[in-house]
Structure formats: structure tokens, C-alpha cells
């Protein structure tokens, strides 16, 4: 498989006299740096930057090819890139959901919100190849943003602890108050997602020939971000960290010293994870299931394991609408009705989604849509394993696991982060050269 290189032509691609003008590449590169830096800080600002990114991409296509020839030229660039057609198919299933949904307005809103999942991958599939050095810079920009956020959140939380009444409450339930109050910029779930992605990127950068960040600082940040994930007590993120370290052991652990260090880290992470109180209820329930004991809804609620009930409700609803789903516009209404029927709505602060993207997709657009989503993740994972590409493998594992615990493609932080990193790290880096395939 050969990386594609698309030559720049046209007003944004060449100066007078035929000399190359790299302004288009530089604008795209600069916007990518800004997008990944803004992503953990401010979602609305990230939307504006992504709008600019897409606008520059479209403008270059129009100027280079003309408005009439632009769609045909884009199709020529994409027709041999099989992964992008899965992304297009996934979006088309949501378009079809407009017909299935009785609440068309809500379905259209969901379609509009997911438009980034289509446009960003399309852009990265047809952009000029980003040099490896610049790709490292983009990763470092994202890591730097999360480092700044981690320090700001730590400082503000320490300041809160200086208040004696709050400190006394904190001593009674420390992990609860950290989970509730530590993250200032995002919900703890997405804070932990960004920390997990940062650890994956840092493990990759540690083994690359880049000079912007030393290996010592990489190790310090991996430890710092990992500790934050544990004190935030995001169960999904803790599992992701353990899996990332196992992957690193198999991928990078060639010398005995490296293997020992990574294994020691794995043991420490696993121990910290299993001793975290937020795992206690699930471990207790798992023990009862293993012993053959029946676990009813009341016990799940008492054990703060409402997520299992949400999954059960979603599975029951999908049985009635297996092929096309209930429609993305009707998910909330159907879930609320079932929560009321089962008398569990009173235990919720709001009408929760299924807290599982695969079930959310199955419920909204049916089994075919869910299979396309799984293909979007699993097919490139197989390609990444064949290439021994740690960056691609780690990104896909982070999202594969997180999507099993949260409906991340239903909220802006999940949509924007998945669209950008999947479009760049997978579609942009794994695309095939159409000329080579034709020949």
C-alpha cells in the first residue's frame, strides 16, 4: 500500500513563473495545530477552526478544478480509498434515518451535528500529504494543550481544597469530589479520553526521531496523565490505559530492560485500577454472576450500576427495529418511554442515552449501520497491525473501548475528536495511490 501524494496546482498552489507556493499547505498545517490545541479547551472555538479548515479545503478544490469539475475530481481522488466509503456509508445511514424518524426535526439536528464525521475525513482523504515532522508537531500540540489543562485543573482543585468545609467533605469521599469537580473544561469522560489519547501519542513519540520534546519529559507526562486518569476514576479510561501499556509491551518491548519497565508499569496500573472504589460495585456484581446468582434491577440501581439497565433497555428496543432502527430522531422519546415503563426514570437526573455507541447506533440506524461503524474501526485496526503502526493501533483501540462505555458520537467532543484524528491518522496516512492501483 503506497501513500498518496496530491500535487498542488492552481492559484493557491503555484506562484507566477511556475514556482510552488506552499501557502495552502501551511494554512492547512496551521489550522490543524490550532484545532488539536483548542479541542480539549473549547468546543465552540474548535468548531469555528474546523469550519475554517473545511472552507480552505473546499476553496482549494474549487479554485484548482473549477466549480463544475470539482465533484468529479474529488471522486477520482477518493474512488480507490475504500475506508472513506465506509465513512460515507455511515453518514448515509443517518440520512436514511430522516425517513424512519417521526421526529424529523430532531433527526435533522443529529444529521447536522454529525456532518463533521463526513467532511473532515473527506478533507483528509484528499489533502496533500502531511510530512512526518509536521505530523509530530500536531501530536505535540494536542499533548501540550492537555498538559496545560491538567496543570490548570490541578491548580484550581488545590485552591478548592484550601477551603476547610470543602476539604472535610473531600476527606470523606475523595475520588467522588475529584470526579465531580476536577475537570474544568470538559465532562470527566472526555477529559479522561483526551488524557488517554495523549498517553498513546506520547508512547508513540518516545520512539520517534523528533527533537521538540525530550524522552525524559515524555516519561514524566505519561506518568502524570496516567495518575490523573486514575484519580478522575474514569473506568473506561483506566481500562484503555492498561490495554495501551499491554500494546506497548508487545510492540516496543524488544529489550529485557524495556519489557521489565513496561511490565512494572502494567502491574502498577492494574493494581491501582482494581483498588479504585468505582470498580468495587462491578467486581461485586461480576462475582455474583460467576456464582450463578440472579441480579435484578433493584440491586443494579443500589450498586450504582445503572449502565447495565441502560444497555438492557437499548437491546430490547432494537429487537423491535433491528434493520433500520427506531430513527435517530426518536431515540430519546423511545428510551424515555421504556424507562418510565420499567420505573427507572426516577433514578436518573435526565433521560440517559444507552452509554454505548454501538447500541446507540444499532438503536438509531439499525444493525447495518452498526456493522458499518464496526468496520470503520476494525478494518483499519487490522491494517495497522499488519503495518506494525503503533499510532494507528493505539488510536483505534482508544476509541473502540471508549465507544463501548459512552455514546461519544452523540456529543460534540467525541464527534470532533474522532472525526479529526480518524481522518488524519487513519484515512490520510493509510490512503492508497490510485495510479499505482490502476496500473
* Best CA proximity match to 93, nearest among 358, 328, 387: 328
Domain map of the chain by residue range?
A: 23-285+350-438
Contact 94, 159 (CB under 8 A): no
| 3-state class (DSSP) for residue 400 | helix
pLDDT the model gives residue 278: 61
DSSP string for 307-328: HHHHHHHHHHHHHHSTTT-S-T
Tens-level pLDDT at each residue, the chain (439 residues): 333 433 444 445 444 444 445 578 889 999 999 999 999 999 999 999 999 999 999 998 888 888 878 888 888 888 888 999 999 999 999 999 998 898 999 999 999 999 999 999 999 999 888 999 999 999 999 999 999 999 999 999 999 999 888 888 888 878 777 888 899 999 899 999 999 999 999 999 998 887 788 889 998 999 999 889 888 878 888 889 888 988 888 887 666 766 676 677 667 766 666 565 666 666 566 566 566 666 666 666 655 667 778 888 888 888 888 888 888 988 888 888 888 887 777 667 665 788 899 999 999 999 999 999 999 999 999 999 999 999 999 999 999 999 999 999 999 999 999 999 999 999 999 987 533 332 2
Q: Give the global pTM.
A: 0.88
- The set of cell numbers assigned to 8 is 498542488
pLDDT the model gives residue 298: 64
Residues sharing a CB contact under 8 Å with residue 153, sequence separation 6 or more, in sequence order: 182, 183, 184, 185, 191
377-412 in b/e form (b: 16+ CB < 10 A) is: bebbbebbeeeebbbbbbbbbbbbbbbebbbbbbbe
CA dihedral sign of residues 285, 286, 287, 293: positive
Interhelix angle 412-421/188-206, nearest 10 degrees: 20
pLDDT the model gives residue 439: 29
Q: Measure the CA–CA gap between 324 and 407, rounded to whole angstroms.
A: 19
Distances (CA, A) of 159 to 146, 191, 339: 20, 20, 40
Give the burial class of 19: count Cβ atoms within 10 A of its Cβ; 0-12 exposed, 13-18 middle, 19 or more buried: exposed
pLDDT the model gives residue 14: 47
pLDDT the model gives residue 7: 42
Q: Measure the CA–CA gap between 339 and 332, rounded to whole angstroms.
A: 10
| 3-state class (DSSP) for residue 390 | helix
pLDDT the model gives residue 109: 92
Amino acid at each position: 500500500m503506497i501513500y498518496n501524494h496530491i500535487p498542488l496546482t492552481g492559484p493557491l498552489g503555484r506562484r507566477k513563473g511556475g514556482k510552488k507556493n506552499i501557502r495552502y499547505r501551511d494554512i492547512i498545517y496551521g489550522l490543524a495545530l490550532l484545532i488539536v490545541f483548542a479541542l480539549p479547551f473549547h468546543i465552540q472555538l474548535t468548531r469555528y477552526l474546523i469550519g475554517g479548515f473545511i472552507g480552505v479545503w473546499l476553496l482549494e478544490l474549487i479554485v484548482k478544478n473549477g466549480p463544475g469539475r470539482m465533484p468529479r475530481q474529488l471522486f477520482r481522488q477518493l474512488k480507490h480509498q475504500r475506508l472513506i466509503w465506509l465513512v460515507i456509508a455511515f453518514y448515509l445511514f443517518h440520512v436514511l434515518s430522516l425517513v424512519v424518524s417521526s421526529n424529523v426535526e430532531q433527526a435533522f439536528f443529529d444529521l447536522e451535528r454529525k456532518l463533521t464525521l463526513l467532511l473532515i475525513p473527506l478533507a483528509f482523504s484528499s489533502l496533500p500529504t502531511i510530512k512526518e515532522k509536521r505530523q509530530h508537531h500536531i501530536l505535540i500540540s494536542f499533548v501540550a494543550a492537555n498538559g496545560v489543562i491538567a496543570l490548570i485543573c490541578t491548580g484550581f482543585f488545590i485552591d478548592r481544597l484550601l477551603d476547610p468545609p470543602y476539604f472535610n467533605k473531600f476527606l470523606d469521599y475523595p475520588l467522588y469530589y475529584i470526579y465531580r469537580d476536577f475537570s474544568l473544561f470538559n465532562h470527566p469522560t472526555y477529559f479522561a479520553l483526551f488524557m488517554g489519547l495523549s498517553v498513546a501519542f506520547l508512547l508513540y513519540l518516545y520512539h520517534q526521531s523528533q527533537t521538540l520534546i525530550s524522552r525524559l519529559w515524555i516519561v514524566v507526562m505519561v506518568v502524570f496523565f496516567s495518575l490523573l486518569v486514575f484519580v478522575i476514576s474514569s473506568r473506561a479510561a483506566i481500562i484503555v490505559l492498561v490495554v495501551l501499556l499491554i500494546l506497548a509491551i508487545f510492540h516496543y518491548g524488544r529489550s529485557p530492560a524495556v519489557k521489565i519497565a513496561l511490565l512494572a508499569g502494567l502491574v502498577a496500573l492494574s493494581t491501582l485500577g482494581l483498588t479504585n472504589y468505582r470498580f468495587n460495585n462491578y467486581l461485586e456484581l461480576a462475582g455474583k454472576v460467576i456464582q450463578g446468582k440472579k441480579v435484578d434491577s433493584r440491586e443494579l440501581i443500589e450498586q450504582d450500576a445503572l449502565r447495565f439497565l441502560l444497555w438492557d433497555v437499548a437491546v430490547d428496543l432494537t429487537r423491535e427495529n433491528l434493520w433500520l432502527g427506531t430513527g435517530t430522531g426518536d431515540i430519546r422519546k423511545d428510551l424515555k418511554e421504556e424507562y418510565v415503563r420499567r420505573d427507572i426514570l426516577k433514578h436518573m437526573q435526565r433521560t440517559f442515552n444507552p452509554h454505548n455507541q454501538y447500541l446507540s447506533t444499532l438503536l438509531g440506524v439499525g444493525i447495518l449501520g452498526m456493522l458499518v461503524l464496526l468496520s470503520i474501526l476494525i478494518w483499519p485496526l487490522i491494517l495497522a497491525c499488519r503495518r506494525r503502526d503503533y499510532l494507528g493501533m493505539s488510536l483505534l483501540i482508544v476509541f473502540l473501548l471508549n465507544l463501548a462505555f459512552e455514546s461519544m458520537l452523540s456529543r460534540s467532543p467525541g464527534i470532533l475528536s474522532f472525526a479529526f484524528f480518524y481522518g488524519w491518522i487513519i484515512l490520510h496516512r493509510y490512503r492508497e495511490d490510485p495510479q499505482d492501483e490502476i496500473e
